[in-house]
Amino acid sequence: MGDEGKILDIKISDLKATAPTFSTQSVALAHALTKLKTALSAVGAPWGDDEQGTKFHQAYGPHVTRIQRSTGILVDGLASIHEAMTDMADGHIANEELVRSMFSRIKVPHGTEDHRK
């Protein structure tokens, strides 16, 4: 809890404004990954197929594959953060509406004190 006793300070407008950034960056990263794969494929194996080139590729090749897979995971992760933030904002709005509707049904007779405080 913060200094003011707040547990959550969710600003729906911030969630909705920030969420698309994750989608945008996910798309940008996916484009970069495609560009990297295309460029590496176009280059082929410039280190040659002699003994030294083979040793280099044995050390280099697996790392390229891991980097490409990891980047793909990041692309998916960024997209899912966008979806999660949007869902969180929508859920928070729905929850506030539910709570508001629950309390709007409580009627306190005029001139009497509400002892539920």
53 neighbors 47 (Cβ within 8 angstroms)? yes
CB burial of 33-67 (b: ≥16 within 10 Å; e: otherwise) equals beeeeeeeeeeeeeeeeeeeeeeeeeeeeeeeeee
Per-residue pLDDT reduced to its tens digit, 41-57: 888 888 888 999 899 98
**Which of 55, 60, 59, 56 shows the shortest CA–CA distance to 40?**
60
Q: Hey, what CATH topology would domain 12-102 get? A: Helix Hairpins (1.10.287)
Q: What is the pLDDT of residues 7-31, one digit of tens each?
A: 567 788 888 888 899 999 999 999 9
pTM for the whole structure: 0.61
Distance, CA of 72 to CA of 34 (rounded, Å): 10
